[in-house]
């Protein structure tokens, strides 16, 4: 009985762990897709202003563009527009006048030099960041946009799902153990020698 109970517990724990990994991966992919849309939409608005001859810093309604873009998902932590040096020129959610974090700077450097795709995604410091390179005339990189999203909500959702799985798994495990006990008792009555074996 102890071996059976241990087997059921191990099976439930393994299934819950695998389900959590799969669910977390699904959530991360879903968030990254939404952030890519936000970054691409913002990039189009800034590109339209740049095509009129403005520099990134001269786009007067930059913050309004980012605020409107953030409306796609209320959980977006921040959106930053930065120049090639990493200086934040426009921001929604804080950070204007500062610089982007080193991980984002490295991702931008690789993307703007053509080593990676013009869009990137990284996970650092408790948030997922998705960015896109902004290009000026003749396709020359002039900066980028990065959208930051906290991972706390994803962790909470994954935790809720894991708890539900464990509770449901425990119920199923108890039912399985009870069923096996019932079957063993029936066989024990019909085959008296089974109990002494």
Place of tokens 């959702």: 157
Residue 182 lies in a domain: no
pLDDT at 175 over 90: no
CA-CA distance, 151 to 154, in Å (whole number)?
Answer: 5
9 pLDDT higher than 80: no
Token code pair at residue 63: 């913050």
pLDDT in tens, 144-166: 999 998 887 766 766 777 777 77
Over residues 113-127, the mean pLDDT reads 84
Higher pLDDT, 12 or 150: 150
- pTM for the full model? 0.69
Token pair 């095509």 is at which residue?
51
Q: Is residue 56 in a domain?
A: yes
Number of domains in the chain: 1
Q: Is the pLDDT reported for residue 51 higher than 70?
A: yes
For residues 37-41, give the mean pLDDT: 89
pLDDT of residue 83: 93
CA 99/CA 24 separation, integer angstroms: 30
Question: Average pLDDT, stretch 53-62?
Answer: 86
Sheet containing 88-92: order of strands = 88-92, 78-83, 141-150, 127-135, 119-124
In which domain, by residue range, is 114 found? 38-154
CATH at 139: 3.30.450.20
Summarize pLDDT for 122-142 with one digit per residue, the tens. Answer: 887 688 889 999 988 777 899
Question: Among 52, 83, 55, which residue's Cα sits nearest to residue 145?
Answer: 83
Q: Which two tokens stand for residue 31?
A: 């968030």
The answer to whether residue 51 is domain-embedded is yes
Q: Is residue 99 part of a domain?
A: yes
Range ranked top by mean pLDDT from 89-93, 117-121, 143-147? 143-147
- Three-state SS string across the chain, please? CHHHHHHHHHHHHHHHHHHHHHHHHHHHHHHHHHHHHHHHHHHHHHHHHHHCCCCHHHCCCHHHHHHHHHCCCCCCCEEEEEECCCEEEEEECCCCCCECCHHHHHHHHHHHCCCCCCEEEEEECCEEEEEEEEECHHHCEEEEEEEEEECHHHHHHHHHHHHHHHHHHHHHHHHHHHHHHHHHHHHHHHCCHHHHC
Q: Tell me, yes or no, whether 73 lies in a domain.
A: yes
User: Bridge partners of 127?
Assistant: 124, 150
Q: Is residue 59 part of a domain?
A: yes
State residue 192's pLDDT score: 60
Q: Which two tokens stand for residue 4?
A: 């059976």
pLDDT at 24 over 50: yes
Residue 191 pLDDT more than 70? Answer: no
What is the number of other CB atoms lying within 10 angstroms of the CB of residue 98? Answer: 13
Within a domain: 189: no
State the pLDDT confidence band at 88, using cuts at 50, 70 and 90.
very high
């Amino acid at each position: 009985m102890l071996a059976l109970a241990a087997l059921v517990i191990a099976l439930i724990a393994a299934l819950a762990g695998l389900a959590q990994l799969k669910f977390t991966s699904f959530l991360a992919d879903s968030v990254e897709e939404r952030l890519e849309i936000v970054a691409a939409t913002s990039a189009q608005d800034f590109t339209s202003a740049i095509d009129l001859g403005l520099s990134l810093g001269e786009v007067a309604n930059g913050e309004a563009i980012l605020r409107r873009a953030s409306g796609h998902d209320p959980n977006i932590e921040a959106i930053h527009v930065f120049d090639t040096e990493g200086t934040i020129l426009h921001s929604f959610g804080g950070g204007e006048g500062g610089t982007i974090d080193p991980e984002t700077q490295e991702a931008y450097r690789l993307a703007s030099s053509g080593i990676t795709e013009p869009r990137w995604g990284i996970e650092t410091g408790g948030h997922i960041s998705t960015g896109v390179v902004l290009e000026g005339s003749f396709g020359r990189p002039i900066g980028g946009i990065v959208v930051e999203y906290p991972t706390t909500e994803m962790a909470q959702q994954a935790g809720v799902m894991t708890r539900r799985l464990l509770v449901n798994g425990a119920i199923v495990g108890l039912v399985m153990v009870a069923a096996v006990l019932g079957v063993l008792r029936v066989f024990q009555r019909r085959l008296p020698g089974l109990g002494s074996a």
